[in-house]
Amino acid sequence: MSRILVVYYSRSGHADLVAKQIAARCHADLERIEDRSPRQGVTGHLRSALESILGLRPAIARACRHPADYDLVIVGTPVWFWGVASPVRTWVHRHRAELKRVAVFCSFMSGCSHGRPSCE
């Protein structure tokens, strides 16, 4: 049986929900990419936008799992300003040499039906 890792970043929780569903259906291990700096509120939103636009790679916590130990790594990211979330960019750059096979999912929500202006 193949070993699968689902690694993801979620600011608001939507990508978190999708990642957990994928991991459950694939019988995969799950690893959340953790930011070293908070992204709450207007300041966090602006910082996220700026990092995405400029292609920056912010500091993230060290991963617990090693992608080289897996046959497939599924990487999940919210869409930030038409691109990958900057913490995911950092993770991929850090682990690119360890990746054998990769699949990707992204989440994007704008104008959510439950009243919040933006979910991710």
With respect to residue 33, please indicate whether it lies within any of the assigned structural domains.
Answer: yes
If you write DSSP's letter for every residue of 55-71 in order, what string do you get?
T----BPPPSS-GGG-S
For residue 113, being part of any structural domain is answered with no
Facing residues of 105 across strands?
A: 76
Q: Is residue 47 part of a domain?
A: yes
Q: What is the pLDDT of residue 110?
A: 59
Instruction: Report how many domains make up the chain.
Output: 1
Q: Is residue 82 part of a domain?
A: yes
Q: Does 117 map to a domain? A: no
Long-range contacts of 92-95 (CB under 8 A, 24+ apart): 93/57, 94/60, 94/63, 95/63, 95/67
For residue 49, the domain's CATH number is 3.40.50.360
- pLDDT tens for residues 25-70? 999 999 999 999 888 889 888 998 899 889 999 999 999 999 999 9
- CA 7/CA 72 separation, integer angstroms: 11
Report yes or no on 79 lying in a domain.
yes
